[in-house]
Amino acid sequence: MRNLIIFLRRYFNFFLFLLLEVICFIFVFRNNNFQRTVYLNSASSISGKLYTKYNGVQYYFHLQSTNDSLVKENVRLHNELASSFDTRDTGTFVKFDTLRKYSNDTARKLLSTEMRKFLYREAKVINNSVNREINTITIRRGSKDGIRPNMGVIGPDGAVGVVRSVSENYAVVISLLYKSSGAANNSNFGFSAKLKSSGEIGTVYWDGASGGYGYMKDVPRSAKLHKGDTIITSGFSAVFPENIAVGYIDTFRLSDKSSTAYSIRMKFATNFYNLQYVYVIENLLRDEQTRLEDSTRNLLK
């Protein structure tokens, strides 16, 4: 206390000067419109900049929760896409006059039945490799969340891979960056894809060279190819829905003049070097489809 009194006595004149200055400024701004306007504009500008900086810092610390909410919203939208449903004609006769009484959505439901085929679940990536011959991704979703082996996995930009093994809380995904032990053209991880522009079918595989590029083989010579064309999933497998982006044509060539198919080098749609969230796709009709296909193969043996 004694030190405080000594400090105030020593600087009494300085504090008195500051007090009088503040009083003078108050009287000046209160009684002069021009000075008051300048003060208010300056104060607004300064406070605006401070609020902008504060909001920027606040946004940074809330970025994780913002990303989580966006991912969940994307899952909701994926699950509402028409491609997530299997629509079939019922064969029911409905008069045109009857249809005109209803909205387009209601009329569509009168003419067809919709059964959910694909169910999407979001998952956080917690481990990821890109520089091995067999690259895997670990996600924080497991069997208790409904994840099972052989489910397709996509990212915000396109196809990612297939679930290989599952524990209660985690799952390991084999990414598209998978090179078989044999020759690249005999890769056992190739899957069916097609050209978005013309629909020609081919097989996508990875040669183990670059994490950003893959290949598509068996594209017929009659196909009209252009750099930048999109390659998408064909929908022929029970793993991926149709029309999921796989990559974009970079270069293409024929192995020789007599070749009947192109070999296409493509840039993957997914950036495997910066993968944070993925979506696991469950085909709810997969078991029925595979059982029927397997039983048919057995009958043909």
Q: Within this chain, do residues 109 and 127 fall inside the same structural domain, yes or no?
A: no
Q: Residue 33 pLDDT more than 70? A: no
Which pLDDT does position 91 carry in this prediction? 44
Contacts of 281 (CB under 8 A, 6+ apart): 118, 119, 120, 151, 152, 153, 154, 239, 240, 241
In a domain, 280, yes or no: yes
Question: Domain of 195: which CATH number?
Answer: 2.40.10.340
Of residues 144 and 71, which shows the higher confidence score?
Answer: 144
Q: What number is the average pLDDT over the span 29-38?
A: 63
In a domain, 4, yes or no: no
DSSP string, 176-194: EEE--SS-GGG-TT-EEEE
Residues of the domain holding 33: 15-61
End-to-end CA distance of the chain: 101
Confidence of residue 64 (pLDDT cuts 50, 70, 90): low
pLDDT per residue as tens digits for the range 112-127: 556 778 899 999 999 9
Please, are residues 63 and 70 in contact by the beta-carbon 8 Å criterion?
no
Of residues 37 and 235, which shows the higher confidence score?
Answer: 235
Q: Within this chain, do residues 171 and 257 fall inside the same structural domain, yes or no?
A: yes
Q: Within this chain, do residues 103 and 191 fall inside the same structural domain, yes or no?
A: no
Of residues 274 and 189, which shows the higher confidence score?
Answer: 274
Q: Residue 263 pLDDT more than 50? A: yes
Q: Within this chain, do residues 136 and 250 fall inside the same structural domain, yes or no?
A: yes
Q: Within this chain, do residues 274 and 141 fall inside the same structural domain, yes or no?
A: yes
Name the DSSP letter for residue 60.
Answer: H
In a domain, 34, yes or no: yes
Q: Within this chain, do residues 257 and 152 fall inside the same structural domain, yes or no?
A: yes
Quote the number of domains for the chain. 3
Of residues 104 and 149, which shows the higher confidence score?
Answer: 149
pLDDT per residue as tens digits for the range 162-201: 999 999 999 999 999 998 654 444 444 678 899 999 899 9
**Burial environment of residue 26 by CB neighbours within 10 A (0 to 12, 13 to 18, 19 or more):** exposed
Q: Tell me the average pLDDT of the chain.
A: 78
Q: Within this chain, do residues 105 and 226 fall inside the same structural domain, yes or no?
A: no
Confidence of residue 267 (pLDDT cuts 50, 70, 90): very high
In a domain, 164, yes or no: yes
Alpha carbon distance 178, 133 (integer Å): 6
Alpha carbon distance 141, 121 (integer Å): 9
In a domain, 7, yes or no: no
Q: In the listed set 61, 81, 96, which residue is the last one of a domain according to the structure? A: 61
**Burial environment of residue 206 by CB neighbours within 10 A (0 to 12, 13 to 18, 19 or more):** buried
Q: Within this chain, do residues 85 and 127 fall inside the same structural domain, yes or no?
A: no
Confidence of residue 135 (pLDDT cuts 50, 70, 90): very high
Q: Which residue type occupies 47?
A: S
Q: What number is the average pLDDT over the span 64-80?
A: 70
The answer to pTM > 0.85 is no
